[in-house]
Amino acid sequence: MINTANHSAVDVSLPLAQFIQHCRWSDIPEVVRHEAKRSLLNYFSTALSACFDPTIERAAQVYGRFSVGQQATVIGRGQRLDMLTAAALNTMAANVFDFDDTHIPTIIHPTAPVAPAVFAWSETQRTSGIDLLLSFILGVEAECRIGNAVSPGHYARGWHITSTCGVFGSALATGKLLGLSARQLVWALGSASAQASGLVETLGTMSKSVSMGNAARNGMLSALLAQQDFDGPAHPLEGVRGFLNVTADAPDCQSIVDGLGERWEILNNTYKPFPCGVVLNPVLEACLGLSTHPELLQQGLGAIERIELIGHPLLRQRTDRPNVATGRESQVSAQHAVAVALTRGKAGLAEFSDQAVADTSLRALGQKISFIDDASFAVEAATVRLHLQRGQRLEVAIDIARGARAKPLSDQDIENKVRTLCEYGGSGCDPEPLIEAVWSIERAEDVGQLMQRVAGHVKS
Amino acid sequence: MINTANHSAVDVSLPLAQFIQHCRWSDIPEVVRHEAKRSLLNYFSTALSACFDPTIERAAQVYGRFSVGQQATVIGRGQRLDMLTAAALNTMAANVFDFDDTHIPTIIHPTAPVAPAVFAWSETQRTSGIDLLLSFILGVEAECRIGNAVSPGHYARGWHITSTCGVFGSALATGKLLGLSARQLVWALGSASAQASGLVETLGTMSKSVSMGNAARNGMLSALLAQQDFDGPAHPLEGVRGFLNVTADAPDCQSIVDGLGERWEILNNTYKPFPCGVVLNPVLEACLGLSTHPELLQQGLGAIERIELIGHPLLRQRTDRPNVATGRESQVSAQHAVAVALTRGKAGLAEFSDQAVADTSLRALGQKISFIDDASFAVEAATVRLHLQRGQRLEVAIDIARGARAKPLSDQDIENKVRTLCEYGGSGCDPEPLIEAVWSIERAEDVGQLMQRVAGHVKS
């Protein structure tokens, strides 16, 4: 059967495609360009951290069997695969720990599905840094705007919004690099819409990474198909049975096209200081502060009788998870997070690994936690109160956690994240030339060469 | 974030996986085996008909760039690609004209996403005909039962149900061939759930074929990942944010596991006599009868003043489409179907091609049609009444159209469909050895060799 229903009142797909087609580098404000570079640095940091994670290892083994040629770099692994496969694996690595960036209005991780696509393409065709950054910014813009239109119902229903919306970002970013016409970009949206998938149910398992990898891979494929005039529906987004109406109950179609070129969604992007659910950010910051408190250092952790976490109810709802079995689960466990931060004075990936979870002393400390819901708290605020022996109390209150929109990581913080995570991942890459290359990316004449900075080597 | 919600009351994924793992050839009734062979013959007929269709040509061009090796046959094209890519293209070809089979309760086209997967696999590893047919039957069973659980709301919402459910069929059929454990089969369902996609909005355009190809390809990939212990959620289907709850408002989970091994969904499969929406079957049958009516032959089509179509309201709702621009659209146009069948006395793929649509004399005849809704008609019934000059009336009433569940195509009909469509597609394949090989498939020791019968040759 052929769909003959009318589309929604608002035209979305074509105006969005026209914007993508016509937008030029000179249309991009400096603040947007800079935020894009911050996003890319953060992307490389998380992808480098996970290049030998078991999820990536197993995916590389299976996907690698179906890769032809060695067009593009698989980050950190000393491996080159075809551009679709390399993009998929790099997306998976960037996101597997959920340590990548967060677009606050939608909780989309915007960079992971888009950056790997444009970098993989740039390794196959000489591409300037400006063209790459422009296409990346536009892909993120589209992805986040589509996400805005279906939020919050889409994620609440169970759609893994980064995967479902990421495929559009990858399609349009790649389509921009390919120089597609607006008509072809709409077709790319059509083939992307046919591939939009990913379920919240898969979070915490390896299969989450499948939809993430597909977002980048299938978006690129959609653009390549459109380049061959492989057609699609006229209204893939706003059609009655198009992506927006099928995956959201009351999509705000208008928001996709309102203020295009005037406000930029990448300015709503944030970067995590800790590899945890964002609601844990203020808790961890408080605990790291408490971990060096002279009184606690003197008395020792054994003196802690009770720990109270005071915060927005979401804190308890999302992170009251006393018994965790895996590093992945520990990333959303307040009990583990508090215990490990107080004990080690650190809260990096090593603190949220399977090995860290196996430390039974942490579990004992975590059991001392109780939650106090206080709806007057913002999500980025929390107070941690330690009750020590003899009625003594230590307390740290965080109003706005580092990493929040109102208190973003500094450029220096992000550079340090690259250094730390690069070291953690074991690729052997030197982060300094990478950092330098990203900050100066708009001067690159052949930006694909940047990927040599993150090539790494085969694990011995 | 990690999903911690409970799953639905009914366990589905694991019992289904256990059934798939343990079901043996001896558990399959003869009538089911025979229906499976009919389904396979019908599959080869439609795949052979479309092997050089522009959709397949363009897809082969793009997908072929990312295919490594020549493991598997692309039907009719004299081309071998890797097994994932070959499976994707064969699925697209089998379904591109919507001339493939129809599982009546769900309107799933069950064979297209599953058969290409198991045949592609059989070309890479020596596989018996029995093992292939068993895995095919089980894949179809799972796919259709999952479809039952989400019907009718899922398709009505806008999900292209063959694509969204087909990926599970491919995953489990491939997993059965791989000898996966039940636990691994659940993981395969998990990675398949992360890839389930396809929108009704894309129907009538090339991009529909993308989700169809993905169903076969990504199902296979899910099984191959599971073989490497690439894990997934415990309840990918029935989880609160799993496939069933996310894509249907009130899924009937229980129906997936009720009577497994007792009733078989493939027995609800049907095969189309005409390349049109099934509601047109009785209309076309009536028109073909009228086309040879002595009175009409004597007076000529010019004598027709009015044409009345009397049928279930769905006939009008789905096919009242007076102005069609493409062959694809003409497949769901009563105006075109009636005109071409009366004029040519035939209703094959050539009658629903772009060339046929360009015939303006057909359009003039089609304009004489009016619909008369009669809810007392079954969907498989219709009456066509011709009003000729001088008040003369010719009328043919069809109670049950050929191809309906109650009046299935005979084995001979299906063989003839293979012959006709094989000729139409231009592959140069000889249909007779293929027909013979499918009817005797359970005696094949290396069933992958069957694909040599449909290899075809590069188009000159």
Measure CB to CB from residue B194 to each of A202, A245, A329 and give the nearest one. Answer: A202
Backbone angles phi, psi at B373, to 5 degrees: -70, 135
Residue A7 has pLDDT above 60, yes or no: no
Task: Tell me how close the Cα of A318 comes to any Cα of chain B, in angstroms.
Answer: 8
Contact residues, chain A, for B232 at CB < 8 Å: 202, 205-207
In chain A, the residue whose alpha carbon lies closest to the alpha carbon of B326 is A2
Which of A203, A207, A224, A278 has the highest number of chain B CBs within 10 A, making it the mutation to test binding with B? A207
Rounded Cα gap, residues B86 and B98, in angstroms: 19
Parallel, antiparallel, or unpaired: how do β-strands B382-388 and B393-398 relate?
antiparallel
In chain B, the residue whose alpha carbon lies closest to the alpha carbon of A230 is B206
Q: Which two tokens stand for residue A354?
A: 């399977």
Write out pLDDT tens, residues A343-362.
999 999 999 999 999 999 99
Size of interface A-B (CB pairs under 8 A): 230
In chain B, the residue whose alpha carbon lies closest to the alpha carbon of A55 is B230
Confidence category of residue B10, pLDDT binned at 50, 70, 90 = confident
Q: What is the CA radius of gyration of chain A?
A: 22
Confidence category of residue B1, pLDDT binned at 50, 70, 90 = very low
Write out pLDDT tens, residues B375-409.
999 999 999 999 999 999 999 999 999 999 999 99
Rounded Cα gap, residues A71 and A451, in angstroms: 11
Rounded Cα gap, residues A323 and A308, in angstroms: 18
Contacts of B161 by beta carbon, 8 Å cutoff, 6+ apart? B106, B107, B108, B147, B150, B151, B154, B155, B198
Q: Which helix (H) or strand (E) holds A245?
A: helix A243-247
Contact residues, chain B, for A229 at CB < 8 Å: 58
Task: Tell me how close the Cα of B218 comes to any Cα of chain A, in angstroms.
Answer: 10
Cβ A87 vs Cβ A112: under 8 Å:
no
Contact criterion met (CB < 8 Å) for B194 and A187: no
Q: Which helix (H) or strand (E) holds B386?
A: strand B382-388
Q: What is the pLDDT of chain B when averaged over all its residues?
A: 96
Q: Which helix (H) or strand (E) holds A415?
A: helix A411-425
Measure CB to CB from residue A194 to each of B208, B221, B225 and give the nearest one. Answer: B208
Cβ B224 vs Cβ B174: under 8 Å:
yes
Q: What is the pLDDT of chain A when averaged over all its residues?
A: 96
Contact criterion met (CB < 8 Å) for A201 and B239: yes
Rounded Cα gap, residues A68 and B341, in angstroms: 48
Contact criterion met (CB < 8 Å) for A329 and B2: yes
Measure CB to CB from residue A61 to each of B85, B207, B228 and give the nearest one. Answer: B228
CATH architecture label of B278-398? 2-Layer Sandwich (3.30)
Contact criterion met (CB < 8 Å) for B207 and A232: yes
Measure CB to CB from residue B243 to each of A195, A199, A206 and give the nearest one. Answer: A199
pLDDT at B148: 98
pLDDT at A75: 98
More confident residue, B10 or A96: A96
For residue B384, which of B266, B290, B460 has the smallest C-alpha distance? B290
pLDDT at B146: 98
Which of A97, A102, A199 has the highest number of chain B CBs within 10 A, making it the mutation to test binding with B? A199
Confidence category of residue A457, pLDDT binned at 50, 70, 90 = confident
Write out pLDDT tens, residues B268-315.
999 999 999 899 999 999 999 999 999 999 999 999 999 999 999 999
- For the domain spanning B13-271+409-454, the CATH number is 1.10.4100.10
Contact criterion met (CB < 8 Å) for B201 and A3: yes
pTM of the model: 0.95
Rounded Cα gap, residues B442 and B312, in angstroms: 42
Write out pLDDT tens, residues B59-90.
999 999 999 989 999 999 999 999 999 999 99
Rounded Cα gap, residues A11 and B42, in angstroms: 41
Contact residues, chain A, for B199 at CB < 8 Å: 193-194, 236, 241-243, 246
Query: B307 forms bridges with which residues in the sheet?
Result: B369, B386
Neighbours of A69 (CB within 10 A): 14
Residue A5 has pLDDT above 80, yes or no: no
Write out pLDDT tens, residues A294-307.
999 999 999 999 99
Which of B6, B65, B207, B314 has the highest number of chain A CBs within 10 A, making it the mutation to test binding with A? B207
Measure CB to CB from residue A205 to each of B55, B66, B232 and give the nearest one. Answer: B232
Confidence category of residue A458, pLDDT binned at 50, 70, 90 = confident
Measured N-to-C along each axis, helices A208-227 and B54-64 cross at an angle, to the nearest 10 degrees, of 120
pLDDT at B8: 58
Q: What is the CA radius of gyration of chain B?
A: 22
Contact criterion met (CB < 8 Å) for B246 and A199: yes
**DSSP SS3 for B289:** helix
For residue A150, which of B246, B212, B447 has the smallest C-alpha distance? B246
Contact residues, chain A, for B159 at CB < 8 Å: 246
Task: Tell me how close the Cα of B325 comes to any Cα of chain A, in angstroms.
Answer: 13
Task: Tell me how close the Cα of A243 comes to any Cα of chain B, in angstroms.
Answer: 7
Contact residues, chain A, for B185 at CB < 8 Å: none
Write out pLDDT tens, residues A64-93.
999 998 999 999 999 999 999 999 999 999
Task: Tell me how close the Cα of A145 comes to any Cα of chain B, in angstroms.
Answer: 20
Measure CB to CB from residue A1 to each of B1, B232, B318 and give the nearest one. Answer: B318
CATH 1.10.4100.10 in chain A: give the residue spans.
13-271+409-454
Rounded Cα gap, residues A240 and A421, in angstroms: 44
Rounded Cα gap, residues B372 and A356, in angstroms: 72
Contact residues, chain A, for B207 at CB < 8 Å: 187, 190-191, 193-194, 225, 230-233, 236
Contact criterion met (CB < 8 Å) for B231 and A205: yes
Contact residues, chain A, for B208 at CB < 8 Å: 194
Contact criterion met (CB < 8 Å) for A242 and B198: no
Measure CB to CB from residue A232 to each of B195, B206, B222 and give the nearest one. Answer: B206
Among residues of chain A, what percentage have pLDDT more than 70? 98
Contact criterion met (CB < 8 Å) for B191 and A210: yes
Residue that the structure tokens 């129907």 belong to? B203
Residue B5 has pLDDT above 80, yes or no: no
pLDDT at A459: 77
Contact criterion met (CB < 8 Å) for B193 and A187: no
Q: Which two tokens stand for residue B102?
A: 């129809």
Rounded Cα gap, residues B417 and B424, in angstroms: 10
Contact criterion met (CB < 8 Å) for A195 and B197: yes
Average pLDDT estimate for B167-189: 98
pLDDT at A4: 41
Task: Tell me how close the Cα of B417 comes to any Cα of chain A, in angstroms.
Answer: 21
Local structure of residue A263 (DSSP, 8 states) = S
Local structure of residue B69 (DSSP, 8 states) = S
CATH 3.30.1330.120 in chain B: give the residue spans.
278-398
Cβ B372 vs Cβ B308: under 8 Å:
yes
Cβ A237 vs Cβ B71: under 8 Å:
no
Confidence category of residue B460, pLDDT binned at 50, 70, 90 = low
pLDDT at B2: 40
Rounded Cα gap, residues B425 and B332, in angstroms: 21
Write out pLDDT tens, residues A196-213.
999 999 999 999 999 999
Write out pLDDT tens, residues A301-346.
999 999 999 999 999 998 999 989 999 899 999 999 999 999 999 9
Contact criterion met (CB < 8 Å) for A66 and B68: yes
Residue A129 has pLDDT above 90, yes or no: yes
